[in-house]
Amino acid sequence: MARLRSPSLFWTFTGFFLAVLIVATVLQGIVIVAIVHPLMSRSEASRAELNTISAANQIARIYEQEEGDALKMQVEHVLRSVPPPGGAGFLIYKDRSGWQAGMPGRRGRPAGRAHGAQRSPRDGVFPGHRELASTPVVVAGNEIGVVTAIGPAARFSFWPRALHGLLYLPISIFLASAAALIMFRMFLRRIRALEEHTHRVSSGDLSVRVADEGTDEISRLAASLNEMTARLEKAREVLDASDEQRRRLFADITHELATPLTSIRGYAETLSNPKLEISEAEHTRYLEHVQEEAARMAVLLDDLLELTRLEAGAVEFEFDRLDLAALCRNTLERVQPHAQRHGLSLEGEGLEAEAWLRADGRRMEQVVDNLLGNALRYVPAGGWVRLRLALTAGRLALVVEDDGPGFAKDALPHVFDRFYRGDGARRTDGTGLGLAIVREIVRRHGGEVYAENRPEGGARVWAEWALTE
């Protein structure tokens, strides 16, 4: 069944953007009508009032100085010289005798008495206009006339300008929409890259990374996803390695237990078969073989349990100041009889001076025992094994070397692997876990183990860690 996809954010964003533009346009119109227009009207009325006051004062002075046609001509000049109110209106003057001046001409300018006294702003003779302000003309305390400011009616002064501005609205909407859509497509492309990344990760591809460099929020999210994917990839590698190690461990255990179990079963079948005639000496020898194989299995299982607990961190170490040189001397004395019985020479070197470090004494004794036991197991009769301590650059090395056959060149990387044993080791009673246990104990003490072949012949295995004062 096809996977259902939710609507694209592209259309959601487009609809939201257009809705915001429409609402903004409506609000802008309301603000213009309710606030801007009244303010403009009040401002226009104030300017008109100032104009009429100025004209009235000038006309009053003319009446004091002139008369007849000269007076009328100067009054007309004053009405023409005063700035029209609102930029599109005009001033008119009417005295008590009915004479008027400042009537509009064909070009919107005052035309004197050409249009006669019939036109009275108070009688509504100027359609499409309105009275803005009026100021009486006073001479010697007597009102002789009135100066009136006439301006365009509100419906003609405001809306044409507003409609003219609205002509630019489609262009603004188009340009803003185009810019917003371009930006959003870029944003959407980056989001889809993150979506593709998560889809591939959920499909099991942990090698994928998001190529989004930057410092913004999406780039930081991409970096976090890359880091998370890298951690998942590393965790899967560790898990795969652990699974492989567990499978190899089960195979090794099966192989190691198969030989003693086969021997025990063979001896048991022989001893339990009534048709076979077995002497008392053979019966006793078969039972001894069964006990030896059982003991071998017990040692193998004990070592395996010990190694498993060490690798899992389930073994508690008791760290204290330890003189490793004294521990090595005591171990040599204890192992010396075993070496002599097998015709081997066991030597010590560099064990006279004290070598202190923080360590678990019982576990370090186990390290020395396993290293010596591994060397003694491989060296033929007449050979030698040397245990020495070396201090170099503040680091202490515990070295066990011999003059035996050494390691095969291709086997050196596997010396510390569990169940690894050299070619000649299959003839011995070792479990193949001794050096693996040594590695885990040394690492828990903050050190590391190494193995190599000596140039003169033989093997060298050593552990190294920082020396504690």
Token representation of residue 386: 């040397």
Return the pLDDT at 367. Answer: 92
Domain coordinates in residue numbering, the chain: 9-104+126-167, 210-315, 320-466
Report DSSP letters for 394-432, one per residue: TEEEEEEEESS----GGGGGGTTSTT---GGGGGS---S
CATH tag, 320-466: 3.30.565.10
Residue with tokens 């066990």: 400
Q: Which helix (H) or strand (E) holds 235?
A: helix 217-272
**Residues paired with 91 in a beta bridge:** 149
Rounded CA separation 387/333 (Å)? 12
Q: Is domain 210-315 given the CATH code 3.80.10.10 in the classification?
A: no
Of 210, 228, 229, 209, whose CA–CA distance to 218 is shortest?
Answer: 210
Q: Which fold has domain 9-104+126-167?
A: Beta-Lactamase (3.30.450)
Return the pLDDT at 388. Answer: 93
Averaged pLDDT in 10-residue chunks for the chain of 469 residues = 48 71 73 74 82 86 82 85 69 85 54 40 58 85 86 56 58 73 79 86 86 77 88 87 74 74 84 81 86 82 79 83 92 92 92 89 92 89 92 88 88 79 48 83 92 91 80
Amino acid letter, 288: E
Return the pLDDT at 141. Answer: 82
Token representation of residue 200: 């591939």
Indicate the DSSP class of residue 36.
I
Token representation of residue 263: 């021997």
Of 181, 171, 132, 164, whose CA–CA distance to 8 is shortest?
Answer: 181
Token representation of residue 240: 């795969």
Return the pLDDT at 326. Answer: 94
Of 368, 366, 326, 367, whose CA–CA distance to 350 is shortest?
Answer: 326
Return the pLDDT at 360. Answer: 92
Return the pLDDT at 114. Answer: 36
pTM of the full structure: 0.49
Q: Residue 181: which residues within 8 A CB-CB, separation 6 or more?
A: 14
Considering only CA atoms, give the Rg of the chain.
55
